[in-house]
Amino acid sequence: MTVAQPATTAPRPVTLSELAKHKSESDLWVAHMGRVYNVTQFANDHPGGADLILEYAGQEIDQVMADAEIHEHSDGAYDMLTEYYVGPLVKSASKAKDGAAAIIDPVSPLDEQLTAGLASAKRPLLDLSQPLVWQMLTSTFSKDYYLTQVHIPRHLPEPAYLFGNPVLEVLTRTPWYVVPLTWTPVVAYLAWSAAQVFPLETVVSMFFAGLVMWSFFEYTFHRFLFHIDTYLPDHPYALTLHFLTHGIHHYLPMDRMRLVLPPIFFAIIVQPPWFFFRAFLDFPSCAGLFSGGIAGYIIYDLTHYYLHHARVRTGYLRDLKKYHLAHHYKEYNEGFGITSKAWDYVFGTVLEYTDVKSGKRKTA
């Protein structure tokens, strides 16, 4: 069982008139820095939304790629673009600026972007056309090599195969709507249980306390469990566990079926805090608190999915999207908050990075 890969054919020159013909959702080309790319397979997974790419289909996108107000792009984005290279863009001599050659230099501008950041370190890690788990279990690369490569994003036009077994694939893929369908009844039951003992205003207070509690768990889980890089054993089994819990999301950040947590996984990681609180709180009190906590988790996972796969227009969510995508594409050791930056400010992990073009430090 294999996964479709971007087509690789010999590069060939493409004229402006030919480029302009490829402007539909099913046949979408763009040009950047004198190079033409067929991004048809990638359009639907574009973090800024397919409609943003369609708006500039069949055109040169140099200014768009550089405009952070439209949609900011990282070193990883430029690197990902190279997978869809068609060939150099050919311009007529009359339109070439300052007497430039008819075929624009296709190499140096893009290479300057790539060597400026993480993408310059990209090396082979896994064969994305084959099931990934067995490759991880039998891997011979070091932990340092793995951690470098797994945090350099790749893209597939469809969900990756983990096991190659159809049954296991179905069981390990989680559509976003499974999260509210599974956990909303649990939230309702816990809130109802608390309401059997406490007055409504107390249950509401517990619920909101649980939301705050979740925001702290969201940060700590992400930073200390999902990014347990320093203390991760240098062994294929440990690397495989890391890959399955969070590494795959950094490796394939636009995989829609590997983004939200499978219910069984969340059911496991919620056990320690539940039993911790049960050690000194009765069941109704824990129920009221965890009704808000699990509701916070639902909000978190749906927000996480939304930030990756929606074209966000509103101010707060747009800011969160830029912040979280910077965690993926610029600096994965900072910016651990998903629904809020609050705990990043508290613990000093607010994500800042050096802009490739301006050379200035920016807060995502």
Strand-pair category, 27-32 with 35-38: antiparallel
**37 φ/ψ angles, rounded to the nearest 5 degrees:** -130, 140
Consult the annotation and say whether 222 binds a ligand: yes
Tell me how crowded residue 69 is: count the other CB atoms within 10 A of its CB.
Answer: 5
Neighbours of 213 (CB within 10 A): 18
Residue 246 in marked binding region = yes
Contacting residues for 323 by C-beta, under 8 A, at least 6 apart:
335, 337, 341, 351, 364
71 is in an annotated binding site: no
- Look up residue 168 and give its two tokens: 């296991």
Is 227 annotated as belonging to a binding site? yes
**Most distant CA pair in the chain, distance:** 82
Judge contact between 247 and 150, C-beta under 8 A: yes
22 is known to lie in a ligand binding site: no
Integer Cα distance of 255 and 247 in angstroms: 12
Q: Kindly state the helix (H) or strand (E) to which residue 89 belongs, with its residue range.
A: strand 85-90
- Does the annotation place 308 within a ligand binding site? yes
73 marked among binding-site residues: yes
Residues placed in the known binding site for heme: 46, 73
In the annotated binding site, the residues are 46, 73, 222, 227, 246, 249-250, 304, 308, 324, 327-328
Annotated binding site for Zn(2+): 222, 227, 246, 249-250, 304, 308, 324, 327-328
